Amino acid sequence: MDKNLGSFSDKYPYMLLGDDSLADINSKIANKNYTPLSFRPNIMMKSKSGKAWAEDEWVGEIHIGDAIFAPASPCARW
């Protein structure tokens, strides 16, 4: 039995959002100041490249401490 069940998620139990991606959104939409709460990510990160949307291009594994994540697909949670 699979015990890795999530509820109230769009597709997957975890969503990662880059700080640079959030800054990119805010730079393109006038009179708005979106925060992480606007998109409800489980994990916020800062990419080494400083490139917005870098997280959409990641493949393989993401290691955060002892946890290992596998990127699945971009999320349309907006």
pLDDT in tens, 45-72: 998 899 999 998 899 999 999 999 999 8
Q: What is the pLDDT of residue 11?
A: 72
DSSP 7-19: SS-SSSS--EEEH
Specify the higher pLDDT residue, 53 or 4: 53
Q: What is the pLDDT of residue 19?
A: 96
Pairing relationship of beta strands 43-45 and 16-18 according to DSSP bridges: parallel
Mean pLDDT (the chain) is 86
User: For the chain, what percent of residues have pLDDT higher than 70?
Assistant: 83
Asked whether residue 40 carries a pLDDT value surpassing 80, the answer given is yes
